[in-house]
Amino acid sequence: MKLHIGGEEKKEGWKILNIQKKDGVDFIGDITDLSQFGDNSIDEIYASHVVEHVDQNNIKKTLNGVYRTLNTDGKFYVSVPDMDILCQMFLSTNLPSKVRFHIMRMMFGGQTDKYDYHYFGWNFEFLKDYLSKAGFKKIEKVKSFSLFKDTSDFAPYNGIPISLNVVSQK
């Protein structure tokens, strides 16, 4: 099985896990508790702009859960707002206030509902460290996953991508 956490876009071969009941969602739940899935039961997990919604006290447990559910050589595709890029953009004096406000929302969440808050700011150094501690061996930063049309490829200002995209392998 391939699992798209937080997703809405149906794609052949992928099941969707979402915290909210929506059309096309196969499983209700969130990334912090994957107990409904057995050990070594998932080939690939995709989570675009989900992990930043996990509070700091639960991130180790969450990544351990992702690792537990993946098959041997399973892959975890994770995309998060890249704090290194967002901070540089936010501090730019060339950008209008409206744009900087939007960048701030990408840092802290859009806050459109009770789930849309960010509890963690990620850069490659932090993410690689947490993934390594969870047991992932191969951790690689990539430009794009080319799997879903979502925020992993979001580049709203001057074509600069705001996401950190990482593929990690069990």
- For the chain, list the domains and their CATH numbers: 2-169 (3.40.50.150)
The answer to whether 29 and 4 are in contact (CB under 8 A) is no
- Give me the pLDDT at residue 93, please: 81
- Give me the pLDDT at residue 74, please: 98
- Give me the pLDDT at residue 170, please: 96
* Mean per-residue pLDDT of the chain: 95
The answer to whether 143 and 165 are in contact (CB under 8 A) is yes
Distance of CA 49 to the CA centre of its chain: 4
Confidence band of 39 (pLDDT split at 50, 70, 90): very high
Pairing of strands 138-142, 163-169: antiparallel
- Give me the pLDDT at residue 115, please: 87
